[in-house]
Amino acid sequence: MSQLSFVVDDVKKAKAGGVLSSDTLTTEALPCLSWCHTFLAYASNEEAIAGAFRSRQLADAAQKVFPDSCHTRFSPSLVAAFDEFRRLREKLRPVSGLTIGRVANELRRPGSLLVTDWAASLFDGALTPDTHGFMNDDGMPPWDTWLALVDVPNVQGPACLLSWVPYWLSERIDLAIQVDAAESLSWLFIEDNLTFMLNGWGQSVRSRPTGLKMKAILHGGPYDGIILDHHDINLYTQFMPIGIRQFVAMPPPKDWDAVRRGDKDKGGPFDEACLGYELIRTPFGVEGRFDSDGSILADALQEFREGKQVVPNADFTGQYFKCYRGDLHDVALPDDHFVVTDEKGREWHCFAVSKEEGETGGFAEMVSRLGGKPSTQPLRLVILLCNDQSELVAKLADQID
């Protein structure tokens, strides 16, 4: 599902007919997340959650949007009141230093966007206990988190409310979605191709088909118990396949929240070394096993170089390219390197490498830079297999900052 539309009139006029896109939503979300900036990474006490996102400054304006809570009928006056609410929050929002890039990263986090079909709510108070009051007795999210009124096909009401959920509450909201007999709630995801996907009314995030591509629970070390899906791995970790074995380098724990917020690049620089986990498939799913001293990764590199890994035979076609972006001070570029500007306007310095270097040398270079000396600008290194050089423009555009 990629076609959602804004309902608010002035947004329609300003945003190409009102069609909701990841870019327009990011712009609309900046005032909201600036207002809620304190809770982007730091959880509120459970006792204070009910009031943490219901500020007194916005209470009167929110009351005018939904004067009868979930019983409020959709009307032009509701749309106008919501627009006034947005304008007030924009006017009063604090200076937080939050950037568009940080907001974009947050919205792409699974479990950050909640759609409420308020007309379908049973207003039975069932959602309040599991969410510690984040959802009220009428099944409505707190007003500080409201993002937009959206037109969603095939719902009970004529419009839905789109709101933001902090990551430390996502699991609680997921429980609420499952216990809601009215099935009035759904997660909304921004896919890798920047289209939207409604997870399904009453459906847990765990039912999401794309999440099955990669979901790992980490065991041991500082990240013991954390669950990563393929979006988390792509956005917040350095993924390192070594032949048929797979590893992730996690940021130092003290930098984890900053990476999730977008304040720091997943590749650093960090003051401390990254932490490695090997991803292993088991009958119960994927597990990440802590590599406390890097020896497991070193052994995997060694066995792969020596040909001791059992790798399925396949005919090799295409060309590997090694591409850099950022601080190139310590990078020795060959004379035949070339510059590629991707579809997002970012400049990469690229050159062709052999199959052997593409499969081993590049990964070793990534590992050698973990926990290294901080640089003035994060260095981004990717190795891509293409049919020919012309594919680089599109493939490099898929790389996330």
Residue 314: pLDDT over 70 = no
**Type of residue at 39:** F
Residue 371: pLDDT over 60 = no
Q: Which residue has the tokens 């690229």?
A: 350
**Tens of pLDDT along 357-367?**
776 656 566 55
Q: Which residue has the tokens 């310590």?
A: 330
% residues pLDDT > 90 (the chain): 34
Q: What is the model's pLDDT at position 8?
A: 42
Question: Which of 282, 285, 254 lies closest to 268, judged by CA?
Answer: 254
Q: Is the pTM of this model over 0.75?
A: no
Domain ranges in the chain are 5-205, 214-314, 315-401
Q: Please, are residues 134 and 172 in contact by the beta-carbon 8 Å criterion? A: yes
Q: Cα–Cα distance between 108 and 192 in angstroms, integer?
A: 9
**Tens of pLDDT along 267-298?**
889 999 999 999 887 644 577 889 999 999 99
% residues pLDDT > 70 (the chain): 84
Q: What is the model's pLDDT at position 381?
A: 83
Which of 28-37, 159-168, 229-238 comes out lowest in average pLDDT?
Answer: 229-238
The pairs formed by 267-273 with CB atoms below 8 angstroms and a separation of 24 or more are: 267/238, 267/369, 267/378, 267/379, 267/380, 268/370, 268/371, 268/372, 268/374, 268/378, 269/372, 269/373, 269/374, 269/375, 269/378, 270/371, 270/374, 271/374, 272/371, 273/370, 273/371
Q: What is the model's pLDDT at position 161?
A: 95
Residue 376: pLDDT over 70 = no
Which of 122-136, 267-281, 372-386 comes out lowest in average pLDDT?
Answer: 372-386
Name beta bridge partners: 5: 19, 151
**Tens of pLDDT along 65-104?**
999 999 999 999 999 999 999 999 999 988 877 888 878 8
Region of residue 341 (left: phi > 0; alpha: psi -120 to 50; beta: else): beta
Q: What is the model's pLDDT at position 312?
A: 46
